[in-house]
Amino acid sequence: MKKLILAASLALAVVTGAAQAETIKVGVTPGEHAQIMEKVKEVAAKKGLDIEILEFSDYVVPNQALADGDINANSFQHQPYLDNQIADRGFDLVSIGKTITTPMGVYSKKVKNLGELADGATVAIPNDPTNGGRALLILAKQGLIKVNPDVGLKATPADVTENPKNIQFSELDAAQLPRSLDDVDAAVINTNYAMEAGLHPKTDAIAIEDAESPYANVIVVKSADKDAPWAKTLVEAYHDDSIKTFINDEFKGALIPSW
């Protein structure tokens, strides 16, 4: 009889423990953000937080999904992009922790360096305001163009003040940029989409963003959830030393832990 009572007590403890685990949905983009979140999920599970990972194929939907309550958090964007989305769309969202910095690179199947670009060459850049400006600033840093310094991080092709090679800018959805390489002379591509297409920033890029980039990626939640216990646990799980080790080992310097 005592054995039966003990067994029943153990079973109840297991059920009670399972009931205490909290489940959240986290939106990511394919590639490194999804890969890292899979590891974060393992760490979070040990802390009593179950993470359901949802992948989104573009940069627009994850913030809308978060604002609509379809997901609890997202991890795919840098702070300037979030700031721009909040300003443009009125989202009540906030970042609660840094994740990684993914240096943006310039890729080409037709030239080995930017100096080889012919007059009137076409360069593809992201069509969203923040990443488009980021791409133009990389090209400016490389001396290909000059951009009006007053516009800061939000430069557009209209803000290019000097363009000695008469570069033509093709503004495309960020996810489509790797596929554009057959049709353009060069493309400035976010690291997650580059790596998803088999391109490595350190070995394949003909130019790359330097280490002083302000574009650290962040974990984002609704403002009302910023102090929620699960939000704290999510950040703690991401900032675990094992995640930093995984990033350094798996991506070999293509991504930089930013905490």
Instruction: Report DSSP state, residue 118.
Output: P
The residue with greater pLDDT, 109 or 6, is 109
Q: How far apart are CA 228 and CA 169, in angstroms?
A: 44
Which of 7-11, 34-38, 78-82, 254-258 is least confident?
7-11
pLDDT at 5 over 90: no
pLDDT of residue 8 exceeding 60, the answer is: no
- Taking the whole predicted model, whether its pTM rises above 0.85 is answered as no
- Is there a shared CATH topology between the 20-102+215-257 domain and the 105-208 domain? yes
pLDDT given at position 15 = 45
Residue 199 has a pLDDT of 94
Pull the structure tokens for residue 166: 């008469």
Is beta strand 22-28 parallel, antiparallel or unpaired with respect to 49-55? parallel
More confident residue, 80 or 181: 181
Instruction: Give the distance, in angstroms, between the CA of residue 45 and the centroid of all CA atoms in the same chain.
Output: 23
pLDDT given at position 211: 67
Torsion angle defined by CA atoms of residues 162, 164, 167 and 169, in that order, rounded to the nearest 10 degrees:
0
Give residue for tokens 């057959």.
182
Calculate helix-pair angle for 32-46, 229-238, nearest 10 degrees.
Answer: 120
At 104-155, the pLDDT tens digits run 999 999 999 999 999 999 999 999 888 999 999 999 999 999 999 999 888 9
Question: In Å, what is the CA distance from 66 to each residue of 91, 222, 233?
Answer: 9, 7, 18
Spatial contact of 127 and 120, defined as CB atoms under 8 Å apart = no
Confidence (pLDDT) at 11: 47
Domain 20-102+215-257 fold is D-Maltodextrin-Binding Protein; domain 2 (3.40.190)
Amino acid at 40: V
Share of residues in the chain with pLDDT > 90 (%): 77
- Residue 214 has a pLDDT of 82
Across the chain, mean pLDDT equals 91
Q: Determine the topology of domain 105-208 in CATH.
A: D-Maltodextrin-Binding Protein; domain 2 (3.40.190)
Please list the alpha-helical segments (H only) found in 47-168.
61-68, 79-89, 129-141
**Does 167 have pLDDT greater than 70?**
yes
Residues 11-60 have pLDDT tens digits of: 444 444 444 679 999 999 999 999 999 999 999 999 999 999 999 998 88
**pLDDT tens-digit profile of 184-207?**
999 999 988 998 999 988 899 999
Q: For the sheet with 22-28, list strands across it.
A: 49-55, 22-28, 73-78, 216-222, 93-101, 256-257
Q: What are the structural domain ranges in the chain?
A: 20-102+215-257, 105-208
Structure tokens at 185: 């002379």
To 10 degrees, the CA torsion angle through 95, 104, 167, 171?
A: -50
How much is the pLDDT for 232?
Answer: 98
